[in-house]
Structure 1
């Protein structure tokens, strides 16, 4: 087996469909099928079997998929360390970043870092913070930027604190919230728990949810049209939104804050690209 075989097995294991896997690998379906048959011949066993709308891996196939994933990580780590032996700061920085931070903060950060270190490339995965935790735990990324509080046994640095805000098109009295139309949106459990915790601290009645959206930006646009109120992290709000915003506090007066963390394992500090990026983040006042 070689690197192309490892990648083919990993992608096929993720997709469970040969045609979709071939599309991701930028090869024809017959070419991928031929490669897979050769692998089965090499190991003398079936790696998967056909089911409706796709395939399922055999026990041998699952074992080989785990092996392929491990070899891909080892090869990437080897490439990282070999590049790190050179005097220049160069290589690929693999980042896992929560969606909001990626949308509102990350582009400017990467642009400034690239200006200082033009030979560094970026591999960026974005998603909910729970998704980024999975990437960190599997060593698929070197650094994770997550929002909210998660259990992590590696190193972590607090990058940013922000307040949760109620937003509305017109002025409202916070005491009237349970009777006002409330617009919800899908988000990770950390933010949802923070919002629910504040609500239970302030009110005995649940919110009057009239809309469920899949994105925070969609929710904000609904609020702009006067269709209800909502609660968003401060990072999502811009002066150009022209909305009334109310920073949330608990009954005891403490503000409702959400933390943004930088998380990583000790061993990645041996890479100059990672170390320089961490130093850059810690020194960047725009966070």
Structure 2
């Protein structure tokens, strides 16, 4: 029986990270939800990984099994999302218990940092909860995630995060994408004055990255670029012909999303400059893609998300 993506050895040979982003004055964080995507992110030049599950819901806590194996395959820092469910950021007492337990486990399995966020019912940072979570996270660094984009007063919220001790905040500028929210991102960075990292994220692509970096003065950014790959399953149920929500559910089982190494690589070039794919006409026959290569036959179009 052949497993999808199975290899003969325990570990594949790893191409060293290019560290292109850090070498050019900015740090590139890539959010991933699988071991393969984490490896691709590092090979493409990512400087840090945000490890999640449930990216369709905006990211939830990954399994500790995924974290453990990712740490075996990559050397760049892995920050772990702590979010017990999708939806809002107002948590019950039992959900808080889960978050605290997940933080302890993530530290045990090698997390290099933690990512979380919590709000009160009136749209302010939940200071009491955040303080209790940060205490468990230490000495690891903590990032406040895009719950920030749901706050009542972003400028006041930034000062609250500083007081609490967050090292960075991920934001789209409280808009549908970082490009749309660029004016607010710049204001936040100006207000922060280096006291906290304001990291743009949400809809960042190789086409708009340079504009966002130049327009905001950001030193770090957060991105996601994935490719749709057809499943390796030979048997596929025909019951999915019924046009319903179940139809979409069944079809989803035969589409796998992985991170596009070439797009990550392009965004790590000086200034996020996009260059022509060096392998576009090379007739790539190798099994291990390098910078600029696609993992898919036919090079399908990358899928960008607001993560």
Q: Same fold (TM over 0.5)?
A: no
Which protein has the larger Cα radius of gyration, Structure 1 or Structure 2?
A: 1
The higher-RCO structure (CA 8 Å, 6+ apart) is 1
TM-score (norm 1): 0.24
The structure in which a higher percent of residues are strand is 1
The structure in which a higher percent of residues are helix is 1
